[in-house]
């Protein structure tokens, strides 16, 4: 039987970092994966790797690097059975979300992973994470047509994921969707939770409009901060991080500021600050005015998926704000429970 093949795309992150003389961690070239993880020498699948031109701490991730990653995967799509993207944990959930939107009709797994401790350290979680991610990306037991994150025994849907710990090895969680697989003695796949296999060919869209903002509410927020954000030059969309099931102050200065922005063509999206649960417009009086003026409720989407989806839709449909609004409230790649 033909051997399955996986392509590793190395972008940087703690997994490949080394310590300088002051103890700070810096990204380091990890081009010889077998030196770093010798256990892979005996694996049953083929592995190739590509490194981005500049490896980074993922705090420096940008939409143009998402396009670089997507270009590599698109170019090699037919030659490999799956893809593993080694990535820093800090913005991994954003990149996973962005890639999920870019790859429409994906029929092969793209699995992001990284680690909390560099591979060179004795107690590194990186070896386990890479080995499991590669095994899942290459497996014949299940075909996962999704962008995922593998971390500390769990395979998660990428656009549902959030980094929830800067300390623990189990650093990710999908609060509004179960994990897709659990690695124990065997890897237990929960295939009924996967996205359906597409029937149409792959489409990769690579335009992001970064003229967006996130406005996080807090008790005491005033007109100067809200207006500064809503009057940012050329603003096209804003994600308002509201309370609970999508509630916000009912003060007229606040509603009028949002109303004015919407009338100027800015798309306003309502996403909850809560980790679990969903925005339900009109459940409380505290969201009725936002619903009336045309704020878009985005259900149980994560903030990472919300902002990347807004950039993706504005970039993909630059002349059709109505279409963008309609897609924001519906699931594109399983990021919202419908
Ligand atoms: N700062 C690192 C990064 O995101 C953290 C990590 O990889 O865990 O690149």
Secondary structure in 3-state letters for the chain: CCCCEEEEEEEECHHHEEECCCCCEEECCCCCHHHHCHHHHHCCCEEEEEEEEEEECHHHCCHHHHHHHHHHHHHHCCCCCEEEEECCCCCHHHHHHHHHHHEECCCCCEEEECCCCCCCCCCCCHHHHHHHHHHHHHCCCCCCCCEEEEECCEEEEHHHCEECCCCCCCCEECCCCCCCEEECCCEEECHHHCCCCCCCCCEECCCCCCCEEEEECCCCCCHHHHHHHHCCCCCCEEEEEEECCCECCCCHHHHHHHHHHHHCCCEEEEEECCCCCCCCCCCCHHHHHHHHHCCEECCCCCHHHHHHHHHHHHHHCCCCHHHHHHHHCCCCCCCCCC
The finding on whether 14 has its CB within 6 A of some atom of ligand 1 is: yes
Q: Is 57 near ligand 1, meaning CB less than 6 Å away?
A: yes
Q: Which of 14, 89, 272, 302 is catalytic?
A: 14
Q: What is the pLDDT averaged over residues 50-63?
A: 94
Mean pLDDT (the chain, rounded): 95
Q: Which residue from 142, 138, 179 is spatially nearest to 158, judged by alpha carbons?
A: 179
Q: How confident is the model at residue 31 (pLDDT cuts 50, 70, 90)?
A: low
Query: What is the tens place of the pLDDT at every residue in 169-181?
Result: 999 999 999 999 9
Pick from 62, 63, 74, 65: which is nearest to 204 by CA?
74
Q: Which atom of ligand 1 is nearest to the CA of 27?
A: 9
What is the Cβ-side half-sphere exposure of residue 219, based on CA atoms within 13 angstroms?
0
51 vs 25, more confident: 51
pLDDT of residue 288: 94
Question: 32 C-alpha vs ligand 1 centroid, how far in Å?
Answer: 20
118 lines ligand 1 (CB under 6 A): no
Using pLDDT thresholds of 50, 70 and 90, give the confidence band for residue 120. Answer: confident
pLDDT of residue 27: 74
Please say if 14 is a catalytic residue: yes
- For residue 33, the model assigns a pLDDT of 75
* Atom 1, ligand 1: residue with shortest CA distance: 57
Q: How far apart are CA 150 and CA 125, in angstroms?
A: 12
CATH code given to domain 5-204? 3.40.50.1170
> In which band, very low, low, confident or very high, does the pLDDT at 1 lie, cut at 50, 70 and 90?
confident
User: What's the Cα-to-Cα distance from 62 to each of 21, 92, 94, 171, 192, rounded to whole Å?
Assistant: 29, 12, 10, 22, 33
Q: Is the CB of 11 under 6 A from ligand 1?
A: no
Q: pLDDT at residue 28 above 80?
A: no
The whole-number pLDDT of residue 167 equals 94
Q: Where in the chain is the domain with CATH 3.40.50.40?
A: 212-328
State in Å: Cα 100 to ligand 1 middle.
20
Q: Report CA Rg, the chain.
A: 21
**The domain 212-328: what is its CATH number?**
3.40.50.40
Q: Is the CB of 116 under 6 A from ligand 1?
A: yes
Place of tokens 């309502």: 270
> How far does residue 284's CA lie from ligand 1's centre (Å)?
39
Domain with CATH 3.40.50.1170 in the chain: 5-204
Please tell me the number of Cα atoms within 13 Å of 78 on its side-chain side. Answer: 2
Which range among 29-33, 53-57, 116-120, 324-328 shows the weakest confidence by mean pLDDT? 29-33
pLDDT tens, residue by residue, 255-271 = 999 999 999 999 999 99
């Amino acid at each position: 039987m033909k051997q399955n093949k996986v392509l590793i795309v190395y972008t940087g992150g703690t997994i490949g970092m080394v310590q300088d003389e002051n103890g700070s961690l810096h990204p380091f070239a990890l081009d010889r994966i077998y030196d770093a993880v010798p256990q892979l020498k005996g694996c049953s699948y083929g592995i190739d790797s590509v490194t981005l031109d500049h490896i980074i701490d993922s705090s420096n991730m940008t939409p143009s690097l998402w396009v670089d990653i997507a270009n590599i995967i698109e170019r090699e799509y037919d030659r490999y059975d799956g893809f593993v993207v080694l990535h820093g944990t800090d913005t991994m959930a954003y990149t996973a979300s962005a890639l999920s939107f870019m790859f429409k009709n994906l029929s092969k797994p793209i699995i992001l992973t990284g680690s909390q401790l560099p591979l060179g350290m004795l107690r590194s979680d990186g070896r386990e994470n890479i080995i499991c991610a590669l095994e899942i990306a290459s497996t014949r037991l299940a075909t996962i047509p999704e962008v995922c994150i593998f971390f500390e025994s769990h395979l998660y849907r990428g656009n549902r994921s959030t980094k929830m710990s800067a300390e623990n090895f189990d650093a990710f969680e999908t609060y509004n969707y179960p994990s897709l697989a659990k690695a124990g003695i065997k890897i237990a796949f929960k295939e009924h939770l996967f996205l359906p296999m597409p029937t149409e060919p792959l489409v990769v869209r690579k335009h992001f409009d970064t003229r967006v903002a996130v406005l996080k509410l807090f008790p005491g927020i005033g007109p100067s901060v809200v207006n500064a954000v809503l009057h940012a030059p050329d603003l096209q969309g804003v994600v308002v991080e509201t309370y609970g099931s999508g509630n916000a102050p009912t003060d007229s200065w606040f509603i009028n500021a949002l109303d004015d922005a919407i009338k100027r063509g800015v798309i306003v999206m309502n996403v909850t600050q809560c980790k679990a649960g969903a925005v339900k417009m009109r459940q409380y009086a505290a969201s009725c005015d936002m619903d009336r003026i045309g704020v878009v409720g985005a259900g149980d989407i994560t903030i990472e998926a919300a902002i990347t989806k807004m950039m993706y839709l504005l970039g993909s449909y630059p002349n059709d704000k109505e279409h963008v609004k309609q897609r924001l409230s519906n699931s594109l790649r399983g990021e919202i429970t419908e």
